[in-house]
Structure 1
Amino acid sequence: MSWAPGGVVDTIGRALAQSMSDLTDGRFVVVNRDGAAGIVGAQALAQARPDGLTIGFGPITPITTAAHTIRNVPFTAQNFDYVCKVFENVLTVTVAEASPFRDLPTLIGAIRTRPGALTYGHFGTNSLGHLSFANIVRGLELRLVDVPFRGEVPIYPELIAGRLDFGIGTVGGSRGKPVRLLAVFGESRSIAAPDIPSTRELNLPTLQPVLAGLMLPRGAPAGLAQRFDTLCRQATEAASFRAVMARLGEPILYADRAAFTAAALRDDAEKRALVHALGLLPQ
């Protein structure tokens, strides 16, 4: 697991691991390897032996952005076998419930009138949350202060305490917290937040949702990867897993190995183009 305990990704990953354990004679143990916007976990997976004993779960963003944004990262998108997609993590622009900002156009107006004064939190430098809003900043020529965190969970206390003006979160991660969603990133509204406008609706630069699922280190036997794909599909169909996803308000969006692989490689190409457009240099 490339993300910190307690968030939506962690909760879904643990539910999936339990469901897979219930379907087999084995036991899937979750280990959190968070840090560097998911790159620490991705690197650990890339360097693991492709014997099926180490499986990665989470968003593919650290994989499809790292090679284009971080110097000397010892992996690329080609170093992984994409087993199955489980869900899509929909990003949001979020404010505290007590915030004066009721919609995203009003927030953007405040950023314009107070250049360099407003602050926002995101999942880490060059994470998709960072890139998504940086894309809006570039398109609208805005100036503000971004504050990187180690994942989504630590953003909310700072947001609620008023130490951040807004944050980049997720639909699931915001659920049950005293916060307000101003927009979701995407071409259309999220099934999990149908009342919240999309960035496309608001005529703002838009990136696709975060693709999340199971991965193996490159080099695993094709038969092994296919067995994990079959197990993944069965696990997402299990009542226990569906109950967790329903509680989180997250739709299950399973995609098989072939479809997930194609989507991951397309995402890699899109992120390469975005990083070039933003003028970002590997750090």
Structure 2
Amino acid sequence: MPDVMHAEMEMCAGSVSRRGAMIGAALSAFAFDRAVAQSQGLRIVAPFSAGTVIDAMARRLAEALSLHLPERPVVMNRDGASGTLAFAELAQSPADGSSVIFGAASPLVVHPHLRRDPKLDPADYRPVCQMFEQPLVLVVSRRLELRNVADLVELAKKRAGALKFGHYGLASATHIELLGFARTAGVEVIEVPYRAHGQLVADLASGALDAAISTPGTFDTGVIQPLMLIAGQPIALYPDLPTSASLGFPPALPVFGGVFARAGTSDETLARLARAFRAASEEPDFQATARRLGVLTIFGDGDAFARRIKEESLRVQALLGRLGLVSQ
């Protein structure tokens, strides 16, 4: 069966020369140095497969960036291991800003507390900027003919240990939310990790999968029924859907993310990256795509993003402790 949640990318290397930087600055207030721009351009790695929210956002972001850079960035998907594969590869790329990840912060916020992985050290990365936040949603196959979360919990108790719940892989936010839901509801379910979002949706539609923790705006509500928004308040996409907070479930684990570069990238290059991504995030087409997918566009500079990652990591550590989970 599949495994993970959101898509990755990578980029080509290019050296940053003083002369190139001057030419780049002349081309645009947001331009990268000319040497990088004239190599293979900026490469944006999406840590999840095609069809996911991260993939759709990354590709719209690349289009928006093309309005502020000498040439359009290249988007590459690098899905696997709940997004950590993309981060592991970024750690081996040149520290020159030519390759970045656009994705959720989960590999740096959640993963270190669940599994000790020598290939993933948060110190190997520099947060460039936060760009988004997104709630999750509990969905079920319409073949179950359930009306609400109470019906789902009743069915899960009646068929103890038999219902199949999908998520996007170990240490993903969807995995943690599933564990929290099952613990709070007092039910036992079969966890099914997915690598490809499309397969998870297909299995829900066919009835091979009973329920899942997923991202909003990426499925046909005619065959897949959303039951609960995992958030503190409603969003425009599902204004009438009950929230986890209103139903008495634990505080939601926010899916937030943005752009990451390799540690060692110069402050000057990080600043240029942040300015370019901020400008792109304000483009109307990018904003429209975010709204359609139920994503909140929230920009924060590198320092603010780093603080958020640290704060949420501590909160996740406490949550996992309450769930009885420890690093392995």
Identical pairs, percent: 29
Conservation of the 8 A alpha-carbon contact between 1:3 and 1:35: yes
1:219 aligns with 2:261: no
RCO comparison, higher one (Cα < 8 Å, 6+): 1
The residue type paired with residue 266 of structure 1 is: E
Q: For residue 153 of structure 2, what is the aligned residue in structure 1?
A: 108
Three-state SS of the structure 2 residue aligned to 1:263 is: helix
The CA distance in 2 between the partners of 1:135 and 1:115, in whole Å, is: 17
Query: Residue 185 of structure 2 aligns to which amino acid in structure 1?
Result: L
Give me the whole-angstrom Cα distance separating, in 2, the residues matched to 1:181 and 1:165.
12
Matched, 1:127 2:159: no
- Contact residue 124 and residue 151 of structure 1 kept, 8 A: no
Please state whether the residue corresponding to 2:132 is helix, strand or coil: strand
Q: Would you say 1:231 and 2:282 are equivalent positions?
A: no
Rate the CA distance shift 1:150–1:45 in 2: closer, same or farther, 3 A.
Answer: same
Count of equivalent residues: 283
Specify the alignment match of 2:285 in structure 1.
Answer: 240
Opposite residue 319 of structure 2, the aligned amino acid is: L
Equivalent position of 1:159 in the other structure: 204
Where 2:300 maps in the other structure, the secondary structure is coil
| 3-state SS in 1 of match to 2:187 | coil
2:106 touches 2:171 (CA, 8 Å); kept in 1?
no
The answer to whether the Cα contact below 8 Å between 1:89 and 1:210 also exists between their aligned partners in 2 is yes
CA distance in 2 between partners of 1:181 and 1:272 (Å)? 28
Structure 1 position 190, deviation (Å): 2.3
SS at match of 1:30: strand
Q: 2:108 maps to what in 1?
A: 63
Structure 2: gaps spanning 5 or more residues: 1-45
The amino acid across from 1:68 in the alignment is H
Partner residue, 1:74? 119
Task: Give distance in 2, aligned partners of 1:71 and 1:251.
Answer: 31
Inter-CA distance 105–168: structure 2 relative to 1 (3 Å threshold): same
Q: CA distance change for structure 1 residues 175 and 90 in 2, over 3 Å: closer, same or farther?
A: farther
Match of 2:139 among 87, 90, 94: 94
Q: What residue ranges of structure 1 are gaps of 5+ in the alignment?
A: none
Task: Give me the CA root mean square deviation.
Answer: 1.8
Report which of the two structures shows the higher radius of gyration computed on alpha carbons.
2
Contact 1:3 1:9 in 2 (8 A): yes
Correspondence for 1:256? 301
Q: 1:21 Cα shift?
A: 2.1
Q: Deviations over 1:227-250 (max 9, x none)?
A: 111111100111332233344343
Q: Does 1:168 align with 2:221?
A: no
- Classify 1:149/1:135 alpha carbon distance in 2 versus 1 (closer, same or farther; 3 Å): same
Most deviating of 126-135 and 81-90: 81-90
Q: Of 36, 40, 57, which residue of structure 1 is paired with 2:81?
A: 36
Distance 1:129 1:136 in 2: 10
CA distance in 1, matches of 2:166, 2:67: 38
Q: TM-score, with normalisation over the residues of structure 1?
A: 0.93
User: Is 1:47 aligned with 2:87?
Assistant: no
> Which segment drifts farther, 191-200 or 135-144?
135-144
Q: CA deviation at 1:175?
A: 5.5
